[in-house]
Every structure is written in C-alpha cells, then in structure tokens.
Amino acid sequence: MALRMLILSAMLAAPAGAEGFRSFDGHGGPVMGVAVSPDGTRALTASFDYSVGLWEIGRDTPPRWLEGHAAAVNALAFLGTDRAVSAGDDFDILIWDLASARVLHRLGGHKGKVMTARPSPDGSMIASASWDGTVRLWDAETGTSLAVLGDHDGPVNDVAWAAGGAQIYSAGYDGKIVLWDVKHRTAVRRIVRHGFGINVLALDEGAGWLAFGTVDGGTVVVAPDTGAVLADLTAGRRPILALARSPDGSRLAIGDGEGYIMVVDTADWSVAHDFRAAVNGPIWALAFAGDGAGILAGGIDDRAFLWPLDTDDDPAPMAQTRRGFHTAPGEVSNGERQFLRKCSVCHTLAPDGGRRAGPSLHGLFGRRAGTYPGYSYSAALADSSIVWSDATIDKLFEIGPDHVTPGSKMPMQKITAPEDRADLIAFLKRETAPD
C-alpha cells in the first residue's frame, strides 16, 4: 500500500525535485514517449503537443525543447550521448543534435504515422515501424534510407533489434511477430501469430525471452527462436501500451490502457509491483532509470513522472488530475463540455497559448485563420482566406477539418448535432472575447 500511495501521489501531483521522485512539467499535451540516456542522467519526453523535451534527471532545471515535428510525437530514443531520434504522426523521423536542439536529418518516406524508431545496438542504424504497414531501415549518421521491409497485413507498431543488429523483430495489428534478416532484407519466419493486434515488444536475448503486449490486454513471454510460451502475464486490462526491460534484465514493466503499471521479476515471472498509476487515463510509455530502481512513465497527463520502485516512503495523498474531456454531462454547460471534449487538448482560451498542439483561441472571432502570433502554422492555414465566425466554425465541425482546412494539422473530428455546435460556438464567443 505504501508503494501504491507513493506512485499515485507522484503521478497525480508530484512537485519537481521532491525526494525520491519528480515530475517533468512543461508539455502542453499528453506524454506519448519517454527515454532515459545510457548514463542515466538525462531523459527525453515526447508529447501530443508536437514537442520533445530534454531533461536533466538529477537537477530541477528547465528542459531544452526540441521543436521540429508537425504533429504528435510518439516515440524517441537516445543516439549515444549527443544525439537523439524521434518519430511522429507527421510520418517523419527526426535525428537531433541535443546540444543545439537542431534537427540534423529529417527522414521522410513513410506514408503513415510512425510509432517507433529504435537505434541498432551499435548505433549505426535506426529501425522504424509505421502504420503504413512497413518497417524501414535508416543510416543513423546520414539519415539515408537503407531498406523497406513489408510482411505485415496492416499497421506495424514496434520493432526490437536482435543478434547484435543482424536481425529485427517486428510486430503489428495483424497479430504477427516477424523475424527479419537485416543483411538480406528478408523475413526469416513468423515467431507469433496472435488473435489480436500486437502493440509493443521487449527483448532480452541473453536471458532467452521476448515479451509482447496486445490490443486485447494480453502480455505474453515467448522463446525468441520458436515462439513457445514461457509465461503469460495477462491481467485482463486492455490494451497493453508500454513494455520496458530494466537495464540489467531483472525486471519487466508493463503499462496498460486503464492506467496500471505492473513490474515483474524476470527470474521467475512473479509480480513485484502492481498499481494504478494513472486514475483517469492510459500509460503510454515506460522506461527504467539508472540501475532499474526507478521508472519513468508518460500518459494522459501533460507531465512525465519518475519515481523509485523500492521504497517505503508514503507522502500525503494529493489531488487527482483529471483531463477536461473526462467531465461528465451536468458538471458544466453543454458548450463548455464540447470544448473540453473536442478542443481543450490542443487549444487554450487564454492569450498565452502555452505549449499546445494548436494556437490559442483568444480573440478567435473575426480573426483570419493562420494569423495568431507566435504559432507555427501549416501552409494550408497560413495561406487560408478563412475568417473565423459563427458560420465558418459551424461548417468546420459539421463537415470536418479535412474538408474545410485540407492539408492542415487539425485532426479529423466532427460534431454531428446542430445544437451541440451552436452551444460550442456560443461558449467560444463568450470565452475568447478580448477583455
């Protein structure tokens, strides 16, 4: 119970720099990916707000922001000590110089969102998995495309390097895990054929196990060469969204769509910890810190959290964090509820737009699209002639941004009921009006 209270308190409202755990504050959207540097001193966070944050784990200092993606960032990894790689919904993979926060290479070629980008053991290559149904190999130094691997029937979600970089495992929504020969760019064999989609992989070749997490909530450990089941860690929570192996291989962490994190001892596959870390949303990303005694997590909150696993400390419970879109009918007006559900993750109403995926809506009515100061618009909106009004906002949500602002960053969504659109417009007109 002490551990559970520690985790819950830290995940919901931990102050940065608190003894034994900390939060990483500054993102303007949910944290989709996390990574810890090989020496354990720094962390990377990827967010729905299109940004990557670079943090000093042991110091309560502002992060360095890496800005270059044009959509949500899903995954990232360190490339040695001075570079990093990130992947996003913009179909791109970026290689970064961490000292200057500069994009060294933009790897284009995927035709769907990129879910992961993992460096090879020697750091010479990057393998990416995309919803376009392919795995791509890249030269990590130059960003040159080396190969396209395609044996999946649908989106590919994750990859894991094997045999020192000579092989790769890939997993996708078709429920298959495929083993690839990197040199010959060929599929060797299918290791697993599961009845539901596979989201994530974790591999320990030395210990002889490969773990995978599935859409239907399964977490299964198999032999990497044959696919024979070694352990079934399924806890009935769906979907499994994150797996992380500790640096020494002694622990496997599992994160799911219901906000639970389970930590398993890999020696006998016994459960060491099982707790609900996020009350109102999923755990999207996990990474062990340092020697494996701490774990970094990202989820529905705008912050990532790092805390020790083995402690008896029990700080006082703190208030739960609940996203606006969780607000139930009756708690707020219908117009505000539509805003919270459809707009609040990307936009604020205040003059300061913060670090969000979209611009502030302050002073929205009568403003030409693509003109809010300080926001980096897509060409589709920057060159638009649309002026936001009752009529144009109603049309935006009636037929969708893909028709009203084609080519923009705005996600596809509609509000089908005319009365809901009218209530949203009335709320926005009142709340975005300049003082």
Question: If you search the block for the tokens 């962490």, which residue do you land on?
Answer: 253
Is the domain covering 2-308 a CATH 2.60.450.10 domain?
Answer: no
- Taking each helix axis from N to C end, the angle separating 418-431 and 390-399, rounded to the nearest 10 degrees, works out to 140
Summarize the chain as % helix, strand, coil (round to 5). Answer: 15, 40, 50
Q: List the pLDDT tens digit at each of the 435 positions of the chain.
A: 333 333 333 333 343 333 467 899 999 889 999 999 999 999 999 999 999 999 999 888 999 999 999 889 999 999 999 999 999 999 999 999 999 999 999 999 999 999 999 999 999 999 999 999 999 999 999 999 999 999 999 999 999 999 999 999 999 999 999 999 999 999 999 999 999 999 999 999 999 999 999 999 999 999 999 999 999 999 989 999 999 999 999 999 999 999 999 999 999 999 998 888 887 789 999 999 977 888 999 998 889 998 888 765 533 222 345 554 445 556 789 998 888 878 887 888 888 767 877 888 999 999 999 999 888 887 888 888 999 999 999 999 999 888 888 877 777 778 889 999 999 999 999 999 987
- d(Cα 110, Cα 90) in Å, to the nearest integer? 9
Q: Count how many Cα atoms sit within 13 Å of the Cα of residue 2 in the half-sphere of its side chain.
A: 7
Question: If you search the block for the tokens 């119970």, which residue do you land on?
Answer: 1
Annotation: CATH topology of 324-431 = Cytochrome Bc1 Complex; Chain D, domain 2 (1.10.760)
Same fold, 2-308 and 324-431: no
Question: If you search the block for the tokens 């890999």, which residue do you land on?
Answer: 266
Q: Delimit the domains of the chain by residue range.
A: 2-308, 324-431
CB 384, CB 372: distance < 8 Å: no
Give the Cα-Cα-Cα angle 146, 151, 157 (nearest 5 degrees): 80
Q: Count how many Cα atoms sit within 13 Å of the Cα of residue 373 in the half-sphere of its side chain.
A: 3
- d(Cα 102, Cα 194) in Å, to the nearest integer? 41
- d(Cα 419, Cα 334) in Å, to the nearest integer? 9
DSSP 3-state assignment of 379?
A: helix
Q: Retrieve residue 25's tokens.
A: 């504050």
